[in-house]
Amino acid sequence: MTGNHRGHGTRLQVNPIACDGVGICGHLAPELVSFDSWGFPVVSARALVGRDLRSANAAVAACPRRALFLSARVPARPSASGRPSPGRPSPGPR
């Protein structure tokens, strides 16, 4: 999934449950990853583009626990009424 993101709204995230605090991410993407007092990663919340996106992809690919991932913020699509939809279809009549 790392190669599918093109940067618009893409963010680096960490699964704290899976992370063992190895630290490879911080070496590969030091501008995006800092460490807390226990040595676990704290990732930047900013949207990634260009060099940051490439660094994030490298960190995701190198994570031995697969605790890092990229997520894309999907913009809300307007509904038929012209207002943004909440992102979930209604369950319909029961």
Q: For residue 9, what pLDDT is reported? A: 87
Q: For residue 7, what pLDDT is reported? A: 43
Mean pLDDT, each 10-residue run in order, the chain (94 residues): 56 96 96 96 94 97 97 67 55 55
Query: Tell me, what amino acid is at 16?
Result: P
Q: Which domains does the chain have, with CATH numbers?
A: 2-72 (3.30.70.20)
φ and ψ of 55, to 5 deg:
-65, -40
- The DSSP 8-state label assigned to residue 16 in this structure reads T
- Pick from 61, 56, 2, 62: which is nearest to 29 by CA? 56
Query: Tell me, what amino acid is at 92?
Result: G
Return the bridge partners of 78, or none.
84
Report how far residue 48's alpha carbon sits from residue 60's, in angstroms, rounded to the nearest whole number: 13
Task: Say if residues 26 and 35 touch (Cβ distance below 8 Å).
Answer: yes
